A and B are shown apart, each in its own frame.
Chain A
Amino acid sequence: MEPVIETQELTKRFGGLTAVDHINLSVLKGEVFGFLGPNGAGKTTAIRMLTTLSEPSEGTATVGGYDIVTQAEQVRRIIGLVAEKLIVYPRLSAVENLMFFGELYGLSRRQLKDRVENLLRMVQLEQFRDMPVGGYSSGMRQRVNIVRGLLHDPEILFMDEPTALLDPQSIRFVRDLIKDLNHDGKTIVLTTHIMEEADELSHRIGIIDHGKIIAVDTPAGLKSKIGCETLEEVFLELTGRALRDSASNRVPMRIVMGRI
């Protein structure tokens, strides 16, 4: 399979902090690529660069053969973004939200009307179509956020923690939807903190830590290489057990409360 996303020494620095550190990665056409890493490892920053939301400090990348800096507009036409911070206007209804974003992609209102109806039916929101999205439950809002990224039928879909904060039913629904979209031929870059989810959905997995890619393989390949039963064990083995953003080990509650 041919690569559809390729990065060369892609780097992003914020002041003195290197969030993404010279990563070289390729995502193959038609695969679900699980992009994993602890909090603050650089996943979101890498995705922001690949979706043209943020310019790299160093290095380059191509998405669908287009350069993310010099051909940003072409990249934008072929990618869909399902961001972690939901891209919906809370005061507007689902239809108003989707019609607006659809028109930004140059779709005509007539074309959009049918598409929005169909997408809302697909995520089972047709009876809430005219309610302000702010009044939706988290699961409903995430479903709007997902179809927002699908309006222009993108080849490549970036999904940043699409199942965070959802109930088990919604999580199941979103995972099945991701499989469906992938069967339909879409390449999907997925980030998640739920390891069994990554295991279930991804063809290949890339683990990033401290801004660097530390492993890329199939879930099975990773498990056998590291010698662990589950992906979670692999992940902890590779990235360590210490809490991110903390220098010391965990202090037990009885010591914190002075009961010792």
Chain B
Amino acid sequence: MRSKFLHEMYITFRIAHKDLLDFSKAKMLLVTFTVMPIMLMSLFGFMFPQAGTSNPFSGKVSSPYKNVPMALVVEDSGSFALLVADQFKEIASSTGLLEVQDFASFGAAKERIVAGGLRGVVVIPGGFTEAFNSRRQAAVLITMDDTNPTMASIIYGEASSIFMMISSRLGASLISKMESSADLSFLSEPISVERRNLVSSTTNTFQFLAPGFMALTVVTGTLSGLAAAIAREKEQGTMDGMIVAPIPRYAIVIGKTLAQTARGMIQAGVILGISILFFGVKIYGSPFLMVLTMLLGVTSFAGIGIIATSIAPEQETAMMMMMLLQFPMMFLSGVVLPIEQLPNWLQSIGKMLPLYYAADALRKVIVLSASFTDILLDVIVLIVYAAVTLGVAIPVFQKAMSR
């Protein structure tokens, strides 16, 4: 005779097993389930590239955008204006950053931007040569296609850094006429900056994105999976089959959560695999801590998912409620963008969400090889979250199921 507790544990696992068996038979769902994280990683990886890593001075260029079509309008016919225009074109094409096209007027270039052939216009205005000759700063005007602000700001940065380079070379040669003994590169750049990373390799965007996405996928996958699974069983009537059986309610809740967690972990595994294989992500920390963090992330959310699903009248509402929870979470928890980019009040909201702590811990473990004590705060927050929400969720579920 098995003890009551062991039997209940067995039933819990049996419910999880049934859910996974059911899931494994939905072929289309399985395909979507695998493609989803691949798509997320690729999309976000390219959508939010790291700006400012290009340095035309050293010939190092790592812009995500190559040969961007740009117009050049030279409104000044002075010799200096023509010289700067030529240098600009030369550097732009040798670095492969911009594909410069000559335009007669700003108006013509503007029309082409609107029509969609150009990303921006560089104007060397009238009086440019005259200003230089009379030893005043000569200004170049850059206009960008602002329909894609992220892209616009990156390309603007690149175009202006080409002019900075021309400008500082000029400056250097002007100074060297006065101080002929000095090194030209010293004159143009007396202070130089080099980047040294915390771990011995170059960081890339994916190193930031991968842990965040793993946390996000596990958490939202579990959350919406749980919502869908409970709501579907309620609607199709099979939930009654479980409730009418002599088993405790918590076995249903925990069993279903376990099944969804297993699904989430598989998805996280897919993300990690892809990140390592295709995006050059490296794991520096302990795989055990990684799994632990993800499991905690899931449990911290399961309760919220169960509460929402219990009160939702049907599947569609349950799914929408989950979307409502997930979408802001994605941006506020520092998964896609670093949370520091947000205004203070939004940061404080983000820091109330458990996903922030899960992503933070996971990132520290994967990127910085953090130890258990380093992520202790995150772990405590997640455990408290899990205990409180599940503590509320089980009675709410029980109540909702006996309406």
Known: A104-B11, A104-B14. A87 touches B240 (CB 8 A): yes
A-facing residues in B348-380 (Cβ within 8 Å):
none
Q: How far is the CB of B32 from chain A (nearest CB, A)?
A: 15
Among the stretches B52-60, B244-252, B257-265, B282-290, the one at the interface with A is B244-252
CA distance in complex: A52, B240 (Å) = 10
Instruction: Name the CB-closest residue of A to B18.
Output: A100
Q: Which residues of A contact B244 (CB under 8 A)?
A: 51-53, 76, 79, 81
* Interface flag for B238 (CB, 8 Å): yes
What's the dominant secondary structure at chain B's contact region?
Answer: helix
- Give which listed residue, B18, B240, B246, contacts A73 with CB less than 8 A: B246
Residue contact B7 to A106, C-beta cutoff 8 Å: yes
Chain A residues 66-99 with CB under 8 Å of chain B are 73-74, 76-77, 79, 81, 83, 85-92, 96
Interface centre among A51, A52, A87 (most CB of B within 10 A): A87
A105 touches B246 (CB 8 A): yes
A76 to B402, CA, bound (A): 14
Q: Are B26's CB and A104's CB within 8 A?
A: no
Contact A103 B402 (CB under 8 A): no
In the complex, B21 has a CB within 8 A of chain A:
yes
Q: CA–CA, A83 to B18, complex, Å?
A: 20
Pairwise interchain contact A104-B238, C-beta atoms closer than 8 A: no
| Chain A: minimal CB distance from B205 (Å) | 39
- Whether B241 and A148, one on each chain, are in contact in the complex, defined by CB atoms closer than 8 angstroms, is yes
A9 interface residue (CB < 8 Å to B)? no
Across the interface, name the chain A residue whose C-beta is closest to B247: A104
Mark each residue of chain B from 329 to 352: 1 if its CB lies under 8 Å from any CB of chain A, else 0. 000000000000000000000000
Nearest A-chain residue to B233, judged by Cβ: A89
Residues of A near B236 (CB, < 8 A) are 85, 90
Bound complex: CA A54 to CA B401 (Å): 7
Our pick among A54, A77, A87 for the contact of B241 (Cβ within 8 Å) is A87
Q: A38 within 8 Å of B by Cβ?
A: no
Q: Is the CB of A53 within 8 A of B246?
A: no
Q: In the complex, which residues of chain A have a beta carbon less than 8 angstroms from the beta carbon of B14?
A: 100, 103-104
Question: Which of the residues A79, A89, A106 comes within 8 Å of B238, measured between beta carbons?
Answer: A89
CA distance A89 to B243 in the complex (A): 15
Enumerate chain B residues within 8 angstroms of A106, measured Cβ to Cβ. 7, 246
How far is A251 from B232 in the complex, measured between Cα atoms in Å?
39
Cβ-defined contact, B25 with A132, below 8 A? yes
Residue interface mask A113-135, B partner, CB < 8 A = 1: 00000000000000000001000
Q: Would you call B237 and A83 a contact (CB within 8 A)?
A: yes
The distance in angstroms between the C-alpha atoms of A53 and B245, with both chains bound, is 10
Whose C-beta in chain A lies nearest to the C-beta of B10?
Answer: A103
Instruction: Kindly supply a per-residue 1/0 record for chain A positions 41-62, scoring 1 wherever the CB is within 8 Å of any chain B CB and 0 otherwise.
Output: 0000000000111110000000
A136 within 8 A of B: no
Indicate if B403 sits at the interface (CB-CB under 8 A).
yes
Cα–Cα, bound, A81→B401 (Å): 16
A36 to chain B, nearest CB (A): 22
Query: A53–B21 Cα gap in the complex (Å)?
Result: 26
Asked whether B194 is an interface residue with its Cβ less than 8 Å from the other chain, the reply is no
Q: Is the CB of B238 within 8 A of A53?
A: no
Select B22's contact among A53, A86, A92, A105, beta carbons within 8 Å.
Answer: A92
A55 touches B402 (CB 8 A): yes
Cβ < 8 Å to A, chain B residues 82-119:
none
Contact with A along B1-37 (1 / 0, CB 8 A): 0000001001100100010011001100000000000
Q: Across the interface, do B26 and A76 meet the contact criterion of CB distance under 8 Å? A: no
Q: List, in ascending order, chain B residues with CB within 8 A of A55's CB.
A: 402-403
Flag if B240 contacts A89 (CB, 8 Å).
Answer: no
Q: Are A104 and B245 in contact (CB under 8 A)?
A: yes
> Counting CB contacts under 8 A, is B312 at the interface?
no
Q: Which residues of A contact B26 (CB under 8 A)?
A: 91
Within 8 Å CB of B241, what residues of A? 81, 83, 87, 101, 148
- Indicate if B311 sits at the interface (CB-CB under 8 A): no
- In the complex, whether B274 has a CB less than 8 A from a CB of chain A is no
Q: Does B242 contact A (CB under 8 A)?
A: yes
With contacts A53-B402, A77-B246 taken as known, whether A103 is within 8 angstroms of B11 at the C-beta atoms is yes
A182-207 residues at the B interface, CB under 8 angstroms: none
CB of A92 within 8 A of CB of B21, answer yes
Closest to A80 in B: B244
How far apart are the CA atoms of A96 and B26 in the complex, in Å?
15
Q: List, in ascending order, chain A residues with CB within 8 A of B22's CB.
A: 89, 91-92
Closest to B242 in A: A104
Chain A to chain B contacts (Cβ below 8 Å), 28 pairs: A52-B243, A52-B402, A53-B240, A53-B244, A53-B402, A54-B402, A55-B403, A83-B237, A83-B241, A85-B240, A86-B237, A87-B240, A87-B241, A89-B18, A89-B22, A90-B236, A92-B22, A92-B25, A96-B18, A100-B18, A103-B10, A103-B14, A104-B11, A104-B242, A104-B246, A105-B245, A106-B246, A148-B241
User: B residues bordering A, Cβ < 8 Å?
Assistant: 7, 10-11, 14, 18, 21-22, 25-26, 236-238, 240-247, 401-403
Closest 9 CB pairs of A and B: A85-B237, A87-B241, A104-B245, A76-B246, A91-B25, A55-B402, A81-B244, A100-B18, A77-B246
| Given A100-B14, A101-B245, 17 new contacts (CB under 8 A) | A52-B243, A53-B243, A55-B402, A76-B244, A77-B246, A83-B237, A85-B237, A87-B238, A89-B238, A91-B22, A91-B25, A91-B26, A96-B18, A101-B241, A103-B11, A103-B14, A105-B245
